[in-house]
Amino acid sequence: MYVTARENKKNEGKVVLKMSSDENNTNVEKTEEAPPVPEFENPLANLILKKFPSATIAFANPDRTRVNVSKEEIIQTASFIRDELHFDHAESVSGVDYPDEKQIEVVYHLGSYDDPSLSKQIMILATRVPREDNPHPGNDTTKLSSLYEIFPSVAFHERECFEMLGVYFEGNPDNRRLLLPEDWADIPPLRKDFDIKGR
């Protein structure tokens, strides 16, 4: 019963996924039309769209909101989410590898302890960084500004993401290896072109 209720809610609030390549089109649409306020029953999505028109809302469920931003805008968006929307900690930072699109997606799951009205809500902040076929972690273009100054709780998560996917976080005070052995010389293991033995 619970699952069906969730499903219904999801379908009500669901919005078509907009890829980053469509950003320009959607921007044009948004500037022409009125902002799509009635589309989201979720007020957080509207606030973010009003402030950052280039961001796209992938979905806005009653308890999950996903915002895709460009990697240049991530610091401003995260500051806005912390200061205006009262999300105060990061639950996880995960990287997802998309070798076909030559991009790596970094997904921050942000939550709120202080604001009781947001305790069910998870703000999913996603951005994409370019990916190189021959990674040289730390010295190639796979770089992203760290959110350490805004959410100090991302520190170890970003360290993990650096060694697992090779995304270098500029501004993180500690970019050393965390989980892998000291003599690890292969490519970052969570990339899709790293094959485990026997598979």
Which residues lie near other proteins (CB under 8 A)? Answer: 1-4, 6-7, 63-64, 66, 88-92, 94, 96-97, 107, 109, 113-114, 119-120, 122, 124, 151-157, 160, 164, 175-176, 178-183, 186, 189-190, 194, 196-199
- Nearest approach, Cβ of residue 153 and other proteins (Å): 3
- Nearest approach, Cβ of residue 119 and other proteins (Å): 4
Q: How long a stretch of residues is the chain? A: 199
Take residue 113 and report the two structure tokens written for it.
């302890």
Cβ neighbour number for residue 170 with a 10 Å cutoff:
11
- Nearest approach, Cβ of residue 25 and other proteins (Å): 21
- Nearest approach, Cβ of residue 15 and other proteins (Å): 13
- Spatial contact of 165 and 189, defined as CB atoms under 8 Å apart: no
- Spatial contact of 107 and 124, defined as CB atoms under 8 Å apart: yes
Comparing CA positions, the residue from 67, 54, 52 lying closest to residue 24 is 54
Residue 160: strand, helix, or coil: helix
Comparing CA positions, the residue from 169, 159, 158, 79 lying closest to residue 129 is 169
Residue 2 or 32 with smaller CB distance to other proteins: 2
- Nearest approach, Cβ of residue 91 and other proteins (Å): 6
Residue 45 or 90 with smaller CB distance to other proteins: 90
Residue 80 or 151 with smaller CB distance to other proteins: 151
Residue 77 or 95 with smaller CB distance to other proteins: 95
Residue 17 or 37 with smaller CB distance to other proteins: 17
Phi/psi at 60 (5° precision): -140, 85
